[in-house]
Amino acid sequence: MSTGPEVLELPADQYKRTKIDPDKPPLPYRAGLQLRIKRHIPPPPFGIGYFQEPTHPHHLSWDELDQFSTPSEYCLQRRPPRETRSHRDQSIHTLDIVEEIATGDHRGAQIVACRTDLVPDRIVAAKIYDPLYYNFPDVDPVYQSDADYSCEAFAYRRLEIVGVDGLHVPAYYGSWTFEMPFAREPVRMRAVCMILMERLPGPSVYALLKSGHFVDSTEGWPPNSVEGSLLNGKAAQILVTKCRIAGEEKELRLNLRNRLNVLRKSMELYTILLVLGVKQRDLAARNIVVTNVDEAGDLGVAIADFSIACVLGTSISKDPMLTTWPSPAVEARFEDNISEWVPELGTNRYDEEYKFGKWVSLCWPRGRYEESDP
């Protein structure tokens, strides 16, 4: 056991112990920070979905992590776990953080909006995988941040190669690295990796849900319609919410059809990405981002977050490319509780699964996605 700084005991079902870390700098990824970035070749992807090579980093146990005096010391010493060859383009670019999108010491990667000379005419999004700010129980932060980075960069490369980044997934602007000073004498530098991508115009569906509330409506749907079949004669509700899309504030009133369309489009998009060889594996309201709203209140959506995605059909992939067109009804599973978004699905798990299954079979009656389906 380490003889380092004071040890704080936590409940046994959480991680074994954590340490006071006086050297850890406060989260630096705030508006106003300027970074000097250069291109970086990510390590081959590792984690679920890929065969592991013997040279892949392994996930340290808590006993192994405990050998380091503090988490900061561990991040300084172990980073990077796996060197990759230098990119031929070593030019330095600047990146100025202008807004925080999803940041904090309590989460994994940090997502910020930035300006950069690389894409001068628009605001882009950076996803920064800094292990020092990965805080999950029972997780080796260096392993996890590198796993997220390697898997996400690999997935975006596939999406870029098949030409669909920028179409319902953010356009991809490559993988990068920068040096962060570790403020202690003598000053040491840490290499941190990130990806750059298009900043999607709207909030996540989860954010829409959390900033809104449901009101009763008298809007009726014919019982033989897809929507009416879920209601058993009851009235549907309207989600009243607001949203900032490309800088413009919008008040939204989303009826049952609008909300079901978000599910349908996301499931179809998930399946299209799968056919193109990217299994996103994390279909959830927080990972579906609004891109536009039309006059009927229908939302355009994009899928973000490929940090646990698998690319199919490469020499290191466990799964081959699909050879038949799969059904969204079978392949696209929501990881979170969709009855929050569509309370009409019912109030318990059984109800939800039953009604959701009914809706799915109406959407894709032949069990397959076809252009003629609604």
Handedness of CA 14, 17, 21, 24 (dihedral sign): negative
Of ligand ATP, Mg ion, none, which one sits near residue 70, judging by CB under 5 to 8 A according to partner kind?
none
Residue 78 contacts ligand ATP per CB under 6 A: no
- For the CB of residue 201, give the shortest distance to Mg ion in the complex, in Å: 17
Q: How far is the CB of 150 from ligand ATP (least distance, A)?
A: 13
Q: How near is the Cβ of 241 to ligand ATP at its closest, in Å? A: 15
Minimum distance from residue 154 beta carbon to ligand ATP (Å): 15
* Rounded Cα gap, residues 82 and 188, in angstroms: 19
Of 170 and 277, the one with the shorter C-beta distance to ligand ATP is 170
Pick the binder of ligand ATP from 60, 114, 125, 192 (CB under 6 A): 125
The footprint of ligand ATP on this chain (CB under 6 A) covers a number of residues equal to: 20
CA 6 to each of CA 11, 22, 337: distance values in angstroms, whole numbers, following the listed order: 17, 10, 40
Q: Which is nearer to ligand ATP, 180 or 304 (CB)?
A: 304
Q: What is the smallest separation between the CB atom of 102 and Mg ion, expressed in angstroms?
A: 8
User: 199 contacts which partner out of ligand ATP, Mg ion, none, CB within 5 to 8 A by kind?
Assistant: ligand ATP
By beta-carbon distance, which residue lies closest to Mg ion? Answer: 305
102 contributes a contact to ligand ATP by CB under 6 A: yes
- What does the block give as tokens for 262? 């978000």
One residue of 305, 306, 317, 332 binding Mg ion per CB under 5 A: 305
Asked if 35 and 98 touch (Cβ cutoff 8 Å), the reply is no
Q: Residues 274 to 333: which contact ligand ATP by CB under 6 A?
A: 286-287, 289, 304-305, 307
If binding is defined by CB under 6 A, does position 200 make contact with ligand ATP? yes
Residue (of 260, 254, 265, 234) closest to 358 by Cα position: 260
SS3 assignment, position 356: helix
State which of residues 35, 75, 109, 239 lies at the interface with ligand ATP (CB under 6 A).
109
240 touching ligand ATP, by CB under 6 A: no
Amino acid type, 32: G
- Contact between 127 and ligand ATP (CB under 6 A)? yes
Which has the closest alpha carbon to 75: 19, 9, 30, 32? 19
Given the structure tokens 């050297």, which residue do they identify? 23
Decide: 163 and 155 in contact? Cβ < 8 Å.
no
CA 223 to mean position of chain CA atoms: 37
Comparison of 73 and 146: residue with beta carbon closer to ligand ATP: 146
The footprint of Mg ion on this chain (CB under 5 A) covers a number of residues equal to: 2
Nearest to 256 by CA among 242, 241, 239: 239
Q: Which of residues 260-289 bind Mg ion (CB under 5 A)?
A: 287
Q: Which is nearer to ligand ATP, 73 or 305 (CB)?
A: 305
User: Smallest distance from the beta carbon of 353 to ligand ATP, in angstroms?
Assistant: 23
The single-letter code of the amino acid at 341 is W
CB of 330 to ligand ATP, least distance (A): 23
Binding of residue 103 to Mg ion (CB under 5 A): no
284: tokens are: 């959830």
Task: List the interface residues with Mg ion, window 135-194 (CB under 5 A).
Answer: none
Task: Give the 3-state DSSP-derived string for 45-90, with helices as H, strands as E and coil as C.
Answer: CCCCCECCCCCCCCCCCHHHHCCCCCHHHHHHHHCCCCCCCCCCCC
Q: Find out whether 81 and 143 touch, Cβ atoms under 8 Å.
A: yes
> Measured from the CB atom, is 78 or 199 closer to ligand ATP?
199
Residue 240: CB partners within 8 Å, gap ≥ 6?
212, 213, 214, 215, 251, 252, 253
Q: Are 191 and 38 in contact (CB under 8 A)?
A: no
CA 250 to chain centroid, in Å, comes to 24
Q: Which residues of the shown chain bind ligand ATP in the complex (CB under 6 A)? A: 101-102, 107-109, 111, 125, 127, 170, 197-200, 204, 286-287, 289, 304-305, 307
Q: Which residues of the shown chain bind Mg ion in the complex (CB under 5 A)? A: 287, 305
